[in-house]
């Protein structure tokens, strides 16, 4: 006799269609999982109370009696950020809201700042802007500060090296999100 794994619930939440780009989590019933059954639900990570209501409904519909334990077994649209199996729904929904607002750039910043959401939010207060390159940022910075460089010397300045030194010295953080698309933040 071979062991079979059965799915007793749809893999997509049966209440409303999920948004294609909305961060969502797959929450599984551990009682069913430990007994060789897949029972869970994809849930949009929008409001912690709504997530808990859907998890409670999923657990109540479990093929295993008295199911009460759950775990996050998968997640989608979090731009590569890691979600712990037992992350709190407040934490997951806060991160989802941050990522919906800031996208891939927010995810890169969040990862760079050791997954500290408060620091990632605060870093946007020090956002210097989007540029084609870090070198363009360094050159623009010198123009904005009123530093006058004679045209005869302008070609001798290595703006890329200047920007690299600023990043290595911890003055700025630079994130590339596309071809000819970098975002610069002042470091705190």
Q: What is the mean pLDDT of each run of 10 residues along the chain (188 residues)?
A: 40 48 96 97 98 98 97 97 97 98 96 95 96 96 90 92 97 95 93
pLDDT at 19: 60
pLDDT at 10: 42
Q: How many Å separate Cα 149 from the centre of its chain?
A: 41
Beta-carbon count within 10 A of 188 CB: 11
Asked if 17 and 49 touch (Cβ cutoff 8 Å), the reply is no
Evaluate whether 6-115 and 125-186 have a shared fold.
no
pLDDT at 18: 56
CATH 1.10.10 fits 125-186, yes or no: yes
Tell if the pTM clears 0.95, that is, is over it: no
Q: State the SS3 of the chain.
A: CCCCCEECCCCCCCCCCCCCCCCEEEEEEHHHHHCCEECEEEEECCCHHHHHHHHHHHHHCCCCCCCCCEEEEEEECCCCCCCCCCCCHHHHHHHHHHHHHHHHHHHHHHHHCCCCHHHHHHHHHHEEEEECCHHHHHHHHHHHCCCCCCHHHHCCCCHHHHHHHHHHCCCEEEEEEECCEEEEEECC
pLDDT at 137: 97
pLDDT at 20: 72
Tokens 């093929």 -> residue: 63
pLDDT at 1: 40
pLDDT at 6: 38
Q: pLDDT for 7-58, tens place per residue?
A: 444 443 344 455 678 999 999 999 999 999 999 999 999 999 999 999 999 9
Q: Give the Cα separation of 58 and 40 in Å (integer).
A: 6
Where do the structural domains in the chain lie, given as residue ranges? Answer: 6-115, 125-186
pLDDT at 5: 39
CATH of region 6-115, choose from 3.40.50.720, 1.10.10.10, 3.40.50.1820, 3.10.20.480: 3.10.20.480
pLDDT at 147: 83
pLDDT at 41: 97
Asked if 63 and 28 touch (Cβ cutoff 8 Å), the reply is no
């Amino acid at each position: 006799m071979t062991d079979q794994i059965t799915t007793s619930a749809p893999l997509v939440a049966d209440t409303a269609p999920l948004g294609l780009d909305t961060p969502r989590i797959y929450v599984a019933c551990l009682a069913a999982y430990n007994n060789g059954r897949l029972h869970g639900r994809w849930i949009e990570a929008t409001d912690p109370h709504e997530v808990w209501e859907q998890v409670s409904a999923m657990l109540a519909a479990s093929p295993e009696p008295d199911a009460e334990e759950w775990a996050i077994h998968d997640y989608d649209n979090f731009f590569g950020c890691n979600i712990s199996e037992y992350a709190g729904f407040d934490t997951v929904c806060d991160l989802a809201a941050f990522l919906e607002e800031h996208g891939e750039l927010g995810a890169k910043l969040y990862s760079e700042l050791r997954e500290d959401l408060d620091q990632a939010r605060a870093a946007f207060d020090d956002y210097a802007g989007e540029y084609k390159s870090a070198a363009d940022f360094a050159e623009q910075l010198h123009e904005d500060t009123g530093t006058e460089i004679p045209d005869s010397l302008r070609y001798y300045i290595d703006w890329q090296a200047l920007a690299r030194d600023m990043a290595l010295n911890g003055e700025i953080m630079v994130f590339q999100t596309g071809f000819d698309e970098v975002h610069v933040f002042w470091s705190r």
